Amino acid sequence: MELTSGVTATATTLADGRDLIYFDDADTALTGERAVDPRILDPRPATATMRQDVLTGEWISIAASRQNRAFLPPAELDPLAPQTPTNPSEIPSNYDVAVFENRSPSFGPLLTDENAPASLADLTEIGFGRTRTSVGRCEVVCFSPAHEGSFSGLSVSRARTVIEAWAERTAALSAMAGIQQVFPFENRGQEIGVTLHHPHGQIYSYPYITPRTTKLIQSVEQVPDLFAQILETERASERVLISGEHWTAFVPFAARWPIEVHLLPNRHVPDLAATSTDERDELSRIYLQLLQGIDALYPTPTPYISAWHQAPVNTHRDDIRLMLQITSPRRAETKLKFLAGSESAMGAWIGDVPPEQSAAFIRAALARL
């Protein structure tokens, strides 16, 4: 299947029936031939169960199978590298970018069953002992066949392929039964809790609207054209980092983290699937520039979470705009911000670095690239 800008996608399945999609660069050196997964695998784990916290109304997925996932394996046992005779990994063939269903998912593999959420209204009710099946889908996005690295080390062509994969998977996952929100993200660095050195991200497809987005809905219902106003305000500030034809990057006015960068499209789009070819082309360059600038802040790579906040699948798509949020706990070269009493227990944040100072620091790093 040919996508935009020459990227192609080839779908297949793994030995236990999980979906695997290869995304080939526009300038790929691969032949396109794909091997069959020869492994004999155990049956997939049962879909997890969500429990409701009556104190907040939030839903917690109890996914015990995740305890068995790989933890910082050596290169010769990398589960995201192409398979070899001595490494029966998750991906049978060499690849540019590969996306597959997580073997130990937090949500799914079931998309519906008799105890799945009946509706968003069903999920908002609060009661003791309420459970629902953790229906949904979790996917792994491999940025490269290399054992180590992150998004910032990719070529522009490869970055464009990953963006195309995110967009295609957002569209496909949004069309699945029971999915309410699709969330692509990358965790980078052991300080963040990464358990694989291999350059990769994930996509979670939730059966509910997440707590962060639920709070955002309260704001957009109070402030008309919220995101247009955010963009206008931030573009007029000293916190702007990059101003492109289609995208604007800035440190937000009320940044929580020592390093926090937001990236907004200059027109309203609800998710990555709705972006144009031109927007994706520019994003591949600007996103790399941002991540490389964040890495240039200090002599060693910066740990971060890169999170694509997208509108829910079935509501507020005209109000909530696609937004990338990159956050890092690194408050100095050898110091991290830990979420202690106030942040963790009460959700009351205290910023360590003035956002204007952080923006100047990141702009200086971008200028050194």
Active-site residue set = 200
Q: Which residues contact 354 (CB under 8 A, 6 or more apart)?
A: none
Maximum separation of any 2 CA atoms in the chain, in Å: 59
Q: Report the C-alpha gap between 12 and 101 in whole angstroms.
A: 11
Alpha-carbon span 203 to 239, nearest angstrom = 29
Please state, in angstroms and rounded to a whole number, the distance separating the CA atoms of residues 223 and 180. Answer: 23
DSSP string over 58-74: -EEEE-GGGGGS--S--
CA-derived radius of gyration, the chain: 20
Strand ranges, E, within 294-351: 304-309, 323-328, 330-332, 335-336
Torsion of CA 329, 330, 335, 336, to 10 degrees: 10
* Cβ neighbours of 357 (radius 10 Å): 12
Find where tokens 């050196």 sit.
29
Residue by residue, DSSP assigns 61-108 as EE-GGGGGS--S--GGG-TTSBPBTTB--SBSS--SEEEEE-SS-SS-
Q: Parallel, antiparallel, or unpaired: how do β-strands 200-206 and 137-142 relate?
A: antiparallel
CB-count exposure of residue 338 (10 Å: 0-12, 13-18, 19+): exposed
8 A C-beta contact, residue 304 and residue 290: no
Are the beta carbons of 355 and 251 closer than 8 angstroms? yes
Which is it for strands 137-142 and 304-309: parallel, antiparallel or unpaired? Answer: unpaired
Token readout for 347 is 């959700």
